[in-house]
Each structure stands twice: as structure tokens, then as C-alpha cells.
Structure 1
Amino acid sequence: MKEKLKIVFVQAAGSLSETGGFRIVAGYADHLQRRGHEVTLIAPEGGAPKPRTLKGKIKNLFRSKQKPKSVASPPFLENRNVEIKIINGVRELAPADLPDADVLIATWWETGEWISSATNRFKKFHLIQDHEIFPYLPIERVKAVYNLPYYKIVVSDWLREEMVNYDNIREPFFVENVIDYEKFNNSTRKKSDHPVVGFLYSVAQRKNSPLAIETCRKLKKIYPDLRVIAFGSHAPRPEHKMPNWIEFTLKPTGKDIAKIYGSCDVWLFTSDSEGYGLPILEAMASGTPVVATPAGAAPQLVSEKNGAIISHDVDSAVKATQKILELTEEDWSRLSENCVETARRRDWETATDEFEAALLSIVNGKQAEFIKN
């Protein structure tokens, strides 16, 4: 019988939303709880972080009066067996805020800082879903967190290669991401009568939404009846000059997102940098071929059997998308079927087996297995 653990996932302020990264955390929390482990998600209340002054650090270190409050799960967690605790009025967690546990798991560079001063009674992990060396973040602090002696769990080959640069002692655990593919329309699909292309819009520079927009603009000249569907968590910025014929949905529900994916003949993934790229799997689960730049897990997931890998330029994106749009119904359907097969090749039980094995191996003192030669 497997050992049952007390596991705490530490979330950043305001992160309990239906974003790809938190969906992964919530999925593991749910499945580990179902296996008999005692799992808690803990986070500070939302708001801008306070400055990291010496006075603030001291205050944070000795704060113990405010106890975490349990809150109702967000709507998309209603059917998951997850306990969420919010620290009242706190922007940065302190050791006194952390419940007793066997395992602490940081889920963002900042949460890695928060748990650094926690006692050694915890086994400390860092679930890394992106290489968070972004220009708008304090890069040296992020690098310092990556250099902390945590057991790292990464979600893509690219991230595994990046994290090797920060830890000369331990190999990171590799647990590839997974989605709830049953929530997407993965039944047999037909190619649309008129071409339909979709993409996820983001204001983040590294997502390179302008490449997707310009690709669609050129495709519209080739296919006047082209329909373009996009969604995102922020309204399009004026400088991105999104045409008004692009059907944009702001903050769609999970059901709406599945419908959007399932309405498209091709999905564009145009990121310059990505930790994984869940939209690739989500589109494929809906039977939609993906034209993707080689960012994140795209090289692991996308091939000529289910889409195309392109370079980071408009002409390459247009050419690859055109090729798929002009396939016969039979050939397009074959691509679509391969997409669903790719999305289904991993499931939550398999991913949780790997995640759980990583935690248990360290708790049970098998660290030596992961020491580099």
C-alpha cells in the first residue's frame, strides 16, 4: 500500500483562475486527493505584491495571528475534491502561514521564494510550467529561485534542458502536461464548408499574437469567405490592429472554448517562447490540426501527421495553413483523427502516477536516484 502524504501546493496571489497553469495544478491536486493523499491549495488574497523591504520581511516572518480561511472553489473546480485556503490580507506567505505537510510544492517563481525559509521538515518541490525569465519580472530573483535546492518537476523537454543549467546536482523530474480531453469535442468531425481558422489572443509579447493576426489578414485575401475565431483573457490592444472581421470572445467559459476549438479547420499557435502550450493539446482534442511555431512542447506534439511546425514568419504560417485548408475531406479527416489520438495518448491517471512517484521517491529517501553522474 502506498504511503499517504500531506501535500501543499502554494499558489501566487490572484492565480486561482481558469488559466492553463492553474488547471494543471488543480488537476494534480484533485487526483492526488482521490488517491488518499491530504491535499491543500494555499494562496494569499489577490492584489499587487508589497515591496520586499527588510521591515516587510521581518513582519512576514513573525506574522502568526491571521489564520487561513477556507473558501468556495472557483466554478471550474466545483466537481473536484480540492480544499483551497486563502491567507487573509496577505500578499506574501510566511512560514507561519503554511499548514503541516510532508511536501511543499511551489508553482511560480515567487512562491518558490515564499517557501525558501520554511523548515526542513518539508520536502520542497518546484512545479515549473514555464521558463519565467520575462523582461517584466525581476530576472535575478527568478534565477535565484531556480538555483534553490528544490526538487524540480518540469512539463516539457525544452524546460528540462533549461533547468539543467540551474542545478548541477539533481536531474529534474519530467512529467508531461495533460488535459481533460473528454471536455472537448473529440468525436468524428468534418471539414467546414468554408475555411475557419482560430487562435488564442494574448497581450504578452512572447505569445506573438501579431503573427497570428497578420497570417489571418493574408489568408483573408486568398479566401474571401474565411472565418477567423479568436479568444483571450484581455481585449485586443489597438496597436495589434485586429480586423473587425475576426470574431473575438473575451474570457469565454470552458464550454465556449471547446466550441471555438471544435469550429476551426486549423488552429494557429504562434508563440516565440512557451513552457508547454496547452492550446495545442486542447485544439487537437477537438480534432483541429495545429500550425505551430517550435515553442514549448510543440516539437513533441506537432508533426505533418496532425499539423505543421513553422518558422516564426508570416509566409511560413500562411503556406502551412493553406496546405491544410486545401486538403480533401478525406485527408483533412485523417489529420483530425491523428490530432485526437495525440491528445489522448496521455491521461490524468498516467500523469498522476508519474507526479506521485516523484513525490514519494523523495519522501522515501531515494534522492540518490536523481543525482547527476
Structure 2
Amino acid sequence: METDMQKYFFKPRVGQNYWKGVGGLRVLIAGSHFRCPYSNCVHLKKECASSSTIFEMDQKCPCYLDKEDQEYYRLSNSDTIEVNSYLEGFSYQAFSAFTYLMLNKRDHLTDQEKSEFWEQVAFTNYIQHYWPDGSSPKYSENKALYDTDHEAFAQVVDELKPHLIFVWNEAIRDCLIANSNLTYFGKVDIPVLSVYLFLNYEAGTEINGKKESFLQRQYHIIPGKVTKGWIESLFNEYFNSPNAIELFGLKTIEERSASGMGVRQGVGRPPKIKDVASLFKQLVTRKILVRAGDRIVFGNGIMNNHKETFMRYLKQTFNVPKYTNGCMSRMFGYKFIHSELSAAFEDDITRKMKAVFMMVDTRDKDYKIKRMGSSSKL
């Protein structure tokens, strides 16, 4: 039965040498979900299809009832059963491809090499119930499906304290970016499996720049690092213009004041932000925006009200193109509304966001850039 203490149903398989780590770093591997091959089973669309009711089926699965070892053959032990089945010779393409990657091997893997690796890591599937097939919707198409099990996964992370988390599913990557405090590091360059790496800076061991560089080389990471050039390329793509950044013109102080967006004051401290690409980069450093593979998305804890406030601040700060709502909606995978959000909405996130927007420079009426704190007047 489920207890108040345990939120997850599937007990992670923790290797015997997990706490020693791989090169001193603890590694958690997160698969997507378990697929039940018995599509006609009456339980698949009922108890086994929900994280809240699957606990009832732990020792009642029809395919396990005739097994002698009832403690081993139970649904909650599926993480262990799946990994052990791979080690015993069953064909699991994902496990095989990932093992080759982690061991940096191209030729034959011995049973001993496979076993030694999987005894160094922990494995769990993210979704806490069964699915009838192997397909999975995008996170944007069914956020509730993935968000429901995030607390369970967070508990696994809290208990195992991994430094590295390899995620085998794009939708789960997006879910973790939206809900967790983990740091997205990048996509693993592997042809047959979608793998994404997260770093857990709260695990107790410092992951410094030297270790990050090693991880990027060792695991062939396509970095999720955000550069101004990358942001500019996004604007060019989604605004269908070779110089899309230039479409966002700076406003004068009068225009900014009239719109309700102030400017950071301070003699000798000119604003740092000269264009919308630099603005986005500053918002990334504050984790209001984050990179998710080839896309940019809103960070952890950013709700719809915050997203609409972001759009309002953008329009208060820049003279934006008329089609900004549609282009930004495609860029972020979120449909911005056209109605104005009440200016009264404010919290810690909007205040942090506004502080960044107030760092954006202004222009003189004759379109020359004006540095705040100088003696020149409009």
C-alpha cells in the first residue's frame, strides 16, 4: 500500500556500488515508462493506468501470480526486473545503446562489463504507472500526465542524491525543466536514443567548470549553453528575418515612462542591455528563461501570469513588431494572449523580471543610444 512517506510506486534499482559513483559522481538514469505487453488485460486500463491506484496491483499482476519468488516478482520491483532482464540477455535496445555510450565502447561488450556498469548506477522509470504502448505525448500536449509524477521523481532524487541524471525522453526533459531545481546541461549526441543530461548541484559534491568540461567531452554533450548568437538565431528563425533583433527598437525615456516601465538610474552606471537578445541572455542567467535543446522556454515556477507579464514588459520596453505575439508563441511553445494583463499582478518573480527589463537602455529622440547617468538631456 502507498504510504504518506513514499510517493513513488516503482522502487529504483540501485546498484551495489552506486554510492561510490562513476568517477566519484553518483548517476541516476531515468527512463520514460513501463509498457505492458498484455493489451487485453482488464487492469491495464484501470488500476495499472493510474499512479494513485497501481499500488493495489503490486502483488496481483496476473503474469506474476505463478512465480515462486513473490517478493521479487511484484510490480513495484519492475525497475530491478527490467535492468536484470537486460543483464541476463534480453534484448533492450535503449539499455544497450546507453551502456555503450557510458563505457565509450564500440565493439563487443562482455557480460561482466555490462554488469559492473549497472552496479555503479541507479535506474528508475519516471512515470509511476503502466502504458499500453511505447509512444509518449509531448510535454506541451499533456502536461498533467508528467506533472502528476514529478513529486515521486523528486523524492527519488532527494533520497539517492545523484550528481548526474540522464533522462531518456524529451517530454520528461521538458517536465523537469519546468518543475525541478535541476540544471539542464545538454543533449547527449547518440543516434538511437534521446538522452538528456541534468546536473544536481544540491547533491553535496561540487561540480566545477573542470568537471563540466570533462562531462561534455566524455558523454558527447551537445551543450545547452545560451549565447547571444544562439538567441539571435532563434529570433531570425521565428520572426523569419535575417536581422530580427533590429525589429525590436529601444524606446525613449518618455515612452518607457508612459508605458509604466522605468529605467535603472545611477550616475556612472550605464545600463548593460542594448538589445532584446542581450535581455534574453540576462533573463537566462536569472533562470527566468532556460534553454531546452534547440528551444528556449520559461524556467521553473514560471506560471501563465508570469508569462503574460513577461510579454507586457517586453512591449513596455521595446517598440515590437506587430506580429510579436504569434512569433513569440511559436518560439516558446506557449500561446500568449492579446489582452493586457492587469498591472496590479506582482510577486517576487515579476519583481525580479522587471529589474532585468529596467536594465535595458533607452534611445534619444533622434534615435541615438542614450547612456543613463550621463549629463546629456533629451
Greater relative CO, 1 or 2 (CA 8 Å, sep 6+): 2
- Give TM class, smaller chain: under 0.3
- With normalisation by structure 1, the TM-score equals 0.26
- With normalisation by structure 2, the TM-score equals 0.26
- Which protein has the larger Cα radius of gyration, Structure 1 or Structure 2? 2
